[in-house]
Amino acid sequence: MGKRIVVTRQLERADSLSARLEAQGAQAILCPTIKVIPPASCAEIDRAISRIKVYRWVVFPSANSVRSVFRRMLEIGMSTDRLAEVSLAAVGPATRQALEAGGATVSFVPDEYVAERLGETLNPVADERILVVKADIGEPTLREVLARRGAQVDEVVAYRTVTQPPPENAVIELKRGVDVLTFTSPSTVRGFLELGPDWRDVTVGVMIATIGPLTSSAVRDMGVEVQVEAEEHTMDGLVSALVTEFTSKADR
């Protein structure tokens, strides 16, 4: 692609997107706008995982939720093998891979990698107890959809997503000029606002690319248009959408 593309994911997970972009000939500029930290209290998550077998399903809306549960289970001396006592659902491929990397078996992944679709297609749910493991700022959509379908839903916060100002070296790169800003969650969009009054200047004349509709909505709430939205809501889908966009422009 030969483009300067900004990656706003948390630093620990930025490499997966950066590597994909660089494989396509882009220059990836790391500009993490969020970080993941433990919840203010682990009491709820500890209680949930200690009685995990009361649930029919444990639902993971993100890879971060998986890693947070695995980490907490190890911290309290509980084997992750306990997850074999329930059925596990993952919102998409990255979440499934995080579970499988920890030795867990995934029973369900929706055909469209968004929380609403997971809630609509998970079965059985009527009269079943379901645990949803989420971030502190996670959307209520999944719980609401499952509850409408007759499930008894417990939500627990496994981690917090907090915004952070981009590092100074990233700000310097932004001011030098970039071709694309990528956003992979609404929280990365909110974190980008930490640039303060300079953030809007950075977006002028720059392509905005998102991983999916929720993230696009967060961008539009900033008063900024989205040019590229991934059809498949994954890192590969985002990169594919960018490749398609730049290829089509080159052919015009």
**To 10 degrees, what angle do helices 235-251 and 11-23 make?**
40
Q: Which structural domain, as residue segments, surrounds residue 151?
A: 37-161
Shared domain for 85 and 141, answered yes or no, is: yes
Q: Are residues 152 and 47 in the same domain?
A: yes
Do residues 28 and 137 share a domain? no
Residues 156 and 169 in one domain: no
| Whether the model pTM is above 0.75 | yes
* Domain at 47, CATH number: 3.40.50.10090
Provide the residue count of the chain: 252
Per DSSP, the three-state class of 180 is strand
Tell me: do 135 and 156 sit in the same domain: yes
Helix ranges, the chain (H): 11-23, 43-50, 63-75, 93-101, 115-121, 141-148, 168-176, 186-192, 199-203, 213-221, 235-251
Residues 27 and 42 in one domain: no
Same domain as 72, residue 182: no
Number of domains in the chain: 2
Asked if residue 128 and residue 64 are part of one domain, the reply reads yes
Phi, psi of 156 (to 5 degrees): -130, 145
Query: β-strand 180-183 against 207-210: which pairing, if any?
Result: parallel
Which pLDDT tens digits describe the chain residue by residue (252 residues)? 799 999 999 988 888 899 999 999 999 999 999 999 999 999 999 999 999 999 999 999 999 999 999 999 999 999 999 999 999 999 999 999 999 999 999 999 999 999 999 999 999 999 999 999 999 987 888 999 999 999 999 999 999 999 888 888 888 899 899 999 999 999 999 988 877 777 888 888 999 999 999 999 999 998 999 999 999 999 999 999 999 999 877 655
